[in-house]
A and B are shown apart, each in its own frame.
Chain A
């Protein structure tokens, strides 16, 4: 990423974050265009991807480029408003089939009720990568574990093909291989319950995600995901974004066990003495 930082000195943490964020939003350059970077090695000679990583963009709000907008809850004010972003997908829009495009619009309209993230459900792939939480890669020669802070999501990725998925699942069925210094993860076996973002972008059970994690500097990875889902899209499409290492001392993934935060929403109407609210899930 050849991102020019402002020449003048910005002071304070916030301006620093702003500078990095604007940098991040320009980073749709494919990994292949980068100057070759040689990553440090693990003891078995592979690129060392170990670390705590996080995206720094607004893809979880909408993977498509978007201006700032109202949030779902007026009570949340500016805190709940949708922050803007130039988007992480290749091109300006997703190649939905006409039926799928209509469904996405419905999803968006009802996103507060329908977005699985609201209920603390596992986020699926690639969404887990760019939620507002870090994830950690723990890398061993035959298995690479991706541990996501949000909802304690996990993918334990074997470095050989385990064969087809036994059943659909939230986080899918993944296996990895090395393409030079790039970790390539092939993920299938998804259910159709997860979304790509809070804007109602979605997929079917036919989802096939091919992810590429490429070291691009000591503290950044380039992430690229190719999405194939012929039931939802007319052609495969790609998203890409840099991932940043948490370099702060003693950074660690902490618990975000969010079931606790959604029980009143999901079950509050069923408590003894609660007014029965018809139709509420």
Chain B
């Protein structure tokens, strides 16, 4: 069951993801720092630009640019308006369809912020989160393709062949890079002397980022979230993460991946989050993306994924019951 819900939710979220209403014409949102060039970020207690607060990285922008848009990196205001209308129509149709459907059995989608309208999204005129003329993840190198093909396929044979998110190891929103997902896109940033901490509501993991110039962990120590080191470049927090495992590939990456993230407060209400991924064992060149984070009210709630993972036992015992039933038929 548990594995099915997120899939359904993701489908709904993907379908409604373009449903954003804000006025996009308010001057080049989606271009870093363009909202107000003279604006100076407030200082945190540590004297650096203040990134602290509760944020959402929910977005209506797809990760990769639709192929038909070619090298077009930004929509015009007119195109944005047309897209918003199309998305609203689609969402209304979707909502009508969802009524009494699969998802409605499990969730009140409005209550849990699963509908586009109930989730705050930063306005952006970007055609894709990935920046540059391609706007897409570069093709995997042959060795990386081979590596991907050799990974065990998802089956119901054992917990070992279930996806890592379903096993409550981590979710893709936790990163790095911290990718927007269909829902629960909430995170909190705290700045203390020498450290920045980023808590992701889903599934409660915290990235603790030292900014005191210390070296990375020895290369033989590998972690799910890698090993993060930060420093300030002016008002931008720059975080470099290495020491990944080879067990949680990000879009086909290897354990050689390096992620460089930049956090820049761009207005009272927003942080621009940029990242660059480099992995010579996977891609011919680095690629980058930019995501707007919006300030939201309140703190985070506890997301006790593993503790509530009744789904895992149910999925596996369901599969065993199916097998027993099939064997009985023979």
Q: Which of A44, A162, A252, A255 contacts B299 (CB 8 A)?
A: A162
B139 within 8 A of partner (CB): no
Contact B193 A48 (CB under 8 A): yes
CA distance A154 to B192 in the complex (A): 16
Tell me whether B304 and A270 are in contact (CB under 8 A): no
Q: Which A residues lie within 8 Å of B159 (CB)?
A: 263, 267-268, 270-271
Contact B307 A122 (CB under 8 A): yes
- B215 CB within 8 Å of chain A: yes
A139 touching B188 by the CB < 8 A rule?
no
B251 → A minimal CB distance (Å): 21
Indicate whether A156 reaches chain B with its CB closer than 8 angstroms.
Answer: yes
What 1/0 flags go to A35-52 for Cβ under 8 Å of B? Answer: 000000011100010100
Question: Are the C-beta atoms of A143 and B193 separated by less than 8 Å?
Answer: no
Interface residue B231 (Cβ < 8 Å from any Cβ of A): no
Q: Which residues of B contact A266 (CB under 8 A)?
A: 312-313
Q: Is the CB of B52 within 8 A of A140?
A: yes
Residue of B nearest to A139 (CB): B192
Instruction: Return the contact of A145 from the options B158, B193, B197, B221 (Cβ within 8 A).
Output: B197
- Give 1 or 0 for each of B165-197: 1 = CB within 8 Å of chain A CB: 001111000000000000000001011111111
Q: Which residue on A lies nearest to B159, using beta carbons?
A: A267
Instruction: Check if A254 is an interface residue, CB within 8 A of chain B.
Output: yes
The answer to whether A257 touches B169, judged by C-beta atoms less than 8 angstroms apart, is yes
Whether A138 and B195, one on each chain, are in contact in the complex, defined by CB atoms closer than 8 angstroms, is yes
Per-residue 0/1 for A110-148: is the Cβ within 8 Å of any B Cβ (1 yes, 0 no)? Answer: 000000000011100000000000001111111101010
> Which residues of B (2-55) have their CB < 8 Å from a CB of A?
44-47, 52
State how many residues of chain A have any CB contact under 8 Å with chain B.
Answer: 47
A7 at the interface (CB under 8 A from B): no
List, in ascending order, chain A residues with CB within 8 A of B46's CB: 43
A43:B45 contact, CB within 8 angstroms = yes
CB distance from A277 to the nearest CB of B (A): 12
- Most chain B CB inside 10 Å of its own CB: which residue of A44, A145, A253: A145
| Pair A259/B167 contact, Cβ less than 8 Å | yes
* Interface contact B167-A140, CB-CB below 8 Å: no
* Interface residues as binary, B47-76 with A (CB distance below 8 Å gives 1, 0 otherwise): 100001000000000000000000000000
A240 to B197, CA, bound (A): 28
* Shortest distance between the CB of A152 and any CB in chain B (Å): 5
Residue A2 is within 8 A (CB to CB) of chain B in the complex: no
Instruction: Please determine whether B320 and A50 come into contact, CB atoms closer than 8 angstroms.
Output: no
- Shortest CB-to-CB span from B170 to chain A, Å, is 8
One of A19-27, A97-105, A163-171, A226-234 contacting the partner: A163-171
CB atoms of B45 and A44 under 8 A apart = yes
Say whether B144 faces chain A, with CB atoms less than 8 Å apart.
no
Which residues of A have CB within 8 Å of B316? 267, 270-271
Report Cα–Cα, A24/B102, bound state, in Å. 57
Q: Are A156 and B320 in contact (CB under 8 A)?
A: no
Q: Write out, one digit per residue, whether chain B residues 292-316 have a CB within 8 A of any chain A CB (1) or not (0).
A: 0000001111101011000011001
Tell me if A140 and B199 are in contact (CB < 8 A).
Answer: no
Cβ B299 vs Cβ A138 within 8 A = no
Given A140-B44, A170-B307, A263 contacting B299 (CB threshold 8 A)? no
Q: Are B302 and A272 in contact (CB under 8 A)?
A: no
A158 at interface by CB-CB < 8 Å: yes
- Whether the Cβ atoms of B167 and A138 lie closer than 8 Å is no
Closest to A48 in B: B193
B206 CB contacts on chain A under 8 angstroms: 145, 147, 152, 154
Q: Which residue of A lies closest to B318 (CB)?
A: A270
Q: Which 5 A-B pairs have the closest CB atoms?
A: A270-B316, A271-B158, A138-B192, A169-B302, A272-B157
Listed A/B pairs (8) with beta-carbon separation below 8 Å? A121-B306, A138-B190, A143-B52, A147-B197, A171-B302, A252-B208, A254-B221, A259-B306
7 more CB-based (< 8 A) A-B contacts, given A170-B307, A254-B217, A259-B306: A121-B306, A140-B191, A145-B197, A162-B299, A252-B217, A268-B159, A272-B319
